[in-house]
Chain A
Amino acid sequence: MTPGTVAAYRSILLAIAALALLPLAVPLLVGAGLFAGANTFFNLMIFILIITLAAQGWNIAGGYGGQFSFGHAAFFGTGAYAQAVLQTRYGVNAWAALPAAMALGGLVGAVIGILAFRARLRGSYFALVTLAFAEVFRILANATPVTGGAAGTLVPLRIGFGQMQFEAPAAFFYLALAFVAGVLVLNRVLERSRFGAWLVAVRENEDAARALGVDTLKVKLKAITLSAAITAVAGALYTQKFLYVDANIAYGAWISVEALLAPIVGGIGTVFGPLLGAMALIGLGEAAKTVIHAAFGSAVPGVDLVVYGVLLILVIAFAPRGLIGLLKSLGGR
């Protein structure tokens, strides 16, 4: 490893170390009244990590490749259902179901990619067609018996390492963190690879990239497949954590929105954008819920999402390169 290589991965190591040490601070955070208990903290952190993973998936096609999908729920949901259905209906072990869920998600990504890119759909058209695919999946999942239909699929609670169900709440946190860490490294590798350069070239100017001999269709297909596979892992982890999935969770518009908001707010086409964005969005959303709850004495639905929407508009207006870009320009001054 050259010193340059080490430097490139140092920030990832530092970030992961900081996150890995976070559980040590739990007694302090709970003591300060920020969380009701260790479980509340871990559930929130695991949720953030799962969204980060989905967003990291989106970021590969959307951030580096400029292919804005509004329907990553199609991949998240496929992963989530695969994880649930393989275990409950086919008796597949949870650990074995995970790569299968990833592969299925990737396959769905490849198929949608082939259809959309061969039809030369770009920009808003690509966004709309992915959204429509996700809706078709949602309706189908809601109506077919294999997914449990409208009742959804419940994964039975059987705590044990072999079932990927853990007694200690920190265990699942570290599992999700390991996946996030893996994708952070993958993104850095991608950035430094020839494929990554082609992908960015496609984003910046597809026609020019093609003129220079880049097989843009192949590059976009690879990107959407990888993107979908990673987002499917997020779905599988979601099922494994919450042990329940239905059509509106798995294929609902909410996850498509989370998957694209986090990278856009954090910093599109950057290694840390999805992580930073997910933490900012979900953190601020939770804070808003708490404040409103304290002010009105009862929970008001939708407050966290209003914060998401306002944050998105503010980021587009004042920080088009996201929070990462904002931090960089502040640090550079």
Chain B
Amino acid sequence: MFRSYPPQIVLEAVLNGLLTGAVYALVALGLTLVYGVLHIINFAHGAMLTLAMFAVLVAHLGFGIDPYLAILPLTPLFFAFGYGLQRFVISPASRNDDGAILLVTLGLSIVLENLLLAVFRSDTRALTLDYSFSVVDLGFALLSLPRVIGFGVAIVVAAGLWAILALTDTGKAIRAVAKEKLGAYLVGIDVNHIYAVTFGLGAATLAVAACLLMPSFYVNPRVGNAFVLVAFTVVVLGGMGSIAGALLGGLVIGVVESLSGLYLGESLGQIGIFLIFILVLLVRPTGLFGARA
């Protein structure tokens, strides 16, 4: 079953895994951010990513906007979408009860995914761009250009998000709400507003991730499912609510997926991710890097 490969192929798989992993990390960032503040798992995260990917598709096919340029309009648009969703749907419908939020976001994911199915049907689509198949030649490995760009931008966005949380007043308010909701409320922080801002930031990172994914990935209404469990795994591995953990977790998962795809074959490749997910949950639910349960 286990074939041995020349080191160059393994190295290439590891590098490709790192490139994919950075985008996984970006997808997981929003999830872990929302978890850290609202203490809930946003089940609609995958469906929101799918929505963003279709938005990139429409922007390109309908308006001729390059996926990378689509970051500029889509990021604020998705921030507003996420803000509104939390403020006007999730929060009122769930009365901020944890179990209810999980179910409301599950309901949202069902609605989003199937609205997309109704509009775009179940066909799988991909963008064909002149640089879709461009490669970067490192001498010892060939890497896909869109994935290299994806890696770079993902790292920049993660750093930017970290800077927002660490340096801005809003970031401080977000961290205050995450740590001590009541205390934050008592010192005059508008907790509901901060919740919605956090959700908006999570959605905005998804918009960026979608723009980075579309040049080298495909989209169909169910594609979010493939990402959402990967994102959960990244978040659990990295420790719920930890930004650095999500980044590291994403890279680890990218490499694991790439290597298990190489050694186990395409159909069994993803199983490595779920097994890690289950093992981490069973053995160390606080994650490898997180402290909070």
Contacts and interface: CB of A to CB of B under 8 A. Distances in A.
Interface of A: 68, 70, 115-116, 119-121, 123-125, 127-129, 131-133, 135-136, 139-140, 142-143, 150, 253, 257, 264, 300-303, 305-306, 308-313, 316-317, 320
Contacts of B92: 317
A301 B118 contact: yes
A128 B236 contact: yes
Interface stretch (B12-20, B21-29, B94-102, B199-207): B94-102
B236 A115 contact: no
B227 to A, nearest CB: 13
Given A121-B282, A129-B277, A312-B107, 19 more contacts: A115-B278, A121-B285, A123-B98, A128-B236, A129-B278, A132-B278, A136-B278, A139-B267, A143-B267, A253-B225, A257-B106, A302-B117, A305-B113, A306-B110, A309-B111, A312-B110, A316-B103, A316-B107, A317-B94
A151 to B, nearest CB: 13
B163 to A, nearest CB: 29
A135 B229 CA distance: 9
A136 B275 CA distance: 7
Interface of B: 40-41, 89, 92-94, 98-100, 102-104, 106-111, 113-118, 121-122, 221, 225, 229, 232-233, 236, 267-268, 270-271, 274-275, 277-278, 281-283, 285
Contacts of B93: 313, 316-317
A15 B172 CA distance: 57
Most buried by B among A125, A136, A302, A308: A302
19 contacts: A70-B106, A119-B281, A121-B282, A124-B40, A127-B41, A128-B232, A132-B278, A136-B278, A139-B271, A140-B271, A150-B267, A257-B110, A300-B118, A301-B118, A301-B121, A302-B117, A313-B104, A316-B107, A317-B104
* Chain A interface SS verdict (over half): helix
Contacts of B229: 131-132, 135
A311 B118 CA distance: 18
Contacts of B98: 123-124
Contacts of A70: 106
Closest 7 CB pairs of A and B: A302-B114, A309-B110, A302-B117, A309-B111, A312-B107, A317-B93, A305-B114
A132 B281 contact: yes
A127 B40 CA distance: 12
Contact of B108 (A129, A309, A317): A309
Given A68-B102, A301-B118, A303-B118, A124 B94 contact: no
B274 A123 contact: no
A136 B274 contact: yes
Contacts of B278: 115, 129, 132-133, 136
Given A132-B278, A139-B271, A264-B103, A119 B285 contact: yes
Contacts of A135: 229, 270, 274
Nearest to B265: A143
* Chain B interface SS verdict (over half): helix
Contacts, number: 121
A320 B97 CA distance: 11
Nearest to B277: A132
Most buried by B among A264, A308, A311, A313: A313
A264 B98 CA distance: 15
A136 to B, nearest CB: 5
A59 to B, nearest CB: 15
A125 B285 contact: yes
A280 B274 CA distance: 34
A317 B225 CA distance: 25
Nearest to B267: A143
Contacts of A150: 267
Contacts of B268: 139, 143
Contacts of A257: 106, 110
A267 to B, nearest CB: 14
Contact of A127 (B102, B117, B277, B283): B102
A216 to B, nearest CB: 18
Nearest to A140: B271
A206 B233 CA distance: 27
Contacts of A143: 267-268
B111 A123 contact: no
Nearest to A135: B274
A317 to B, nearest CB: 4
Contact of B100 (A127, A140, A316): A316
A299 to B, nearest CB: 10
Nearest to A253: B225
Nearest to A142: B267
A108 to B, nearest CB: 14
A303 B115 CA distance: 7
Contact of B114 (A125, A264, A303): A303
A308 B268 CA distance: 32
B114 A306 contact: yes
A125 B281 contact: yes
Given A119-B281, A301-B118, A313-B111, A139 B104 contact: no
Contacts of B118: 300-303, 306
Contact of B274 (A68, A132, A308): A132
Nearest to A139: B271
Given A128-B236, A301-B121, A313 B108 contact: yes
A121 to B, nearest CB: 6
A23 B145 CA distance: 63
Contact of B103 (A131, A133, A312): A312
Nearest to A133: B278
Given A136-B274, A316-B100, A302 B236 contact: no
A302 B118 CA distance: 6
A307 to B, nearest CB: 9
